[in-house]
Amino acid sequence: MTRRTSREPLIMAPDESRALARAAAESAGIPLAPLEEREYEGGEFKLRPLESVRQRTVFVVQTLAETREAPMARRLLRLLFLLQTLRDAGAAEVIALVPYLAYARKDRRTKPYDPVYTRYVAQLIEAAGTDRVVALDVHNASALDNAFRIPTDHLTALPMMAAYFIAHLPAGQLAVASPDIGGIKRAQLFRELLQRKTGQQVELVFVEKRREGQVVSGGAIIGNPSGRDVIVLDDLCASGATLLQAATSLREAGATSVHAAVTHTPTETGLTTLAAATEVAQVVATDSVGYIASGIASHDKIKILATAELLGNAMARIAHGESLAPLAEHWPCPPFG
């Protein structure tokens, strides 16, 4: 076991999130500490830190996207067990950095006897002895704040997306669209950010959506997308149906082009569906789910933005007692201190 005399913070991550954590650690200038990972018959496992964590701040990076090798529920369980292990080992502060927080879409009851998974996950993370949670573009930030009784920090990919579109789309004829009523606030924030960065007016558009079972319908539009390059913004793309329906309606309403912008892509299905659609000019997403297949990342209509600098800067700022507020406005990340 490695022993350090300093009380510098550490970053730890299970194997399934280690590549993302390593890149973030390099950006943060905080060591990525080793873990012993053992698999046992019947699906049991052990995660053991190989470095003393006593009286130290430890960040645990774990994204909760489903993969064949590491299902979502298993990732959550491994996160919980590692958090509790670090608490038992005497860590002064244990912080969960969860770029993609699964189960966050079910944050309220819409039918009798509905579960509220956001609250259940919050209770599990709190019970593991976690002091703080950091997440990226959660489905409903207010619902997450209400679900947790420990501090929560919300990171956003909007500044990096704004920088990308400003560099790749002609100025002066931009619009931001929300594909459903739940995303209006997010779209408004993005529109305001684009206006501040470009100094030009950006149209706000809302596309009506109805969902019955797995069928998405609707398409009525509020706002004027005609003659504009429209960015359809959402926090997550799973099947791609919502964004495709919105793109189709926007093109029919006269949009010059439609670009999909999403932070989380927990399945490849949504990305490939949108990339194959003639109504969608480009899909911009982040690597918040960790693993991105090489065929997806190299597709000429798909652009994957790296989150390592954002995640690393956030951890460094927390470790140094600095505010995270500047990260919601600027990209690249502004220096701190």
Q: Torsion over CA of 181, 184, 185 and 191, rounded to 10 degrees?
A: 170
Region of 227 (left: φ > 0; alpha: ψ -120 to 50; beta: rest) is left
CA distance 159 to 264: 15
3 state SS of 125: helix
197 classed as catalytic:
no
Which segments of 128-216 does DSSP mark as H helices, in order?
A: 141-147, 158-168, 184-198
Q: Which residue has the tokens 């002064």?
A: 92
The helix or strand, by DSSP H or E, that contains position 204, with its residue range, turns out to be strand 203-212
Report d(CA 57, CA 50) in Å as an integer: 15
> Inter-axis angle of helices 241-252 and 268-276, to 10 degrees?
20
The residues that bridge with 91 in the sheet, in sequence order, are 54
Amino acid at 334: P
SS3 of 118, please?
helix
Cis peptide before 332 (omega within 30 of 0): yes
Q: Which of 46, 106, 185, 209 is catalytic?
A: 209
In whole angstroms, give the CA distance from residue 209 to residue 303. Answer: 26
Q: At what angle do helices 18-28 and 308-319 cross, to 10 degrees?
A: 60
Contact criterion met (CB below 8 Å) for 221 and 253: yes
Strands 215-222 and 282-286: unpaired
DSSP 35: E
Angle between helices 184-198 and 158-168 (to 10 degrees): 50
Catalytic residues: 209
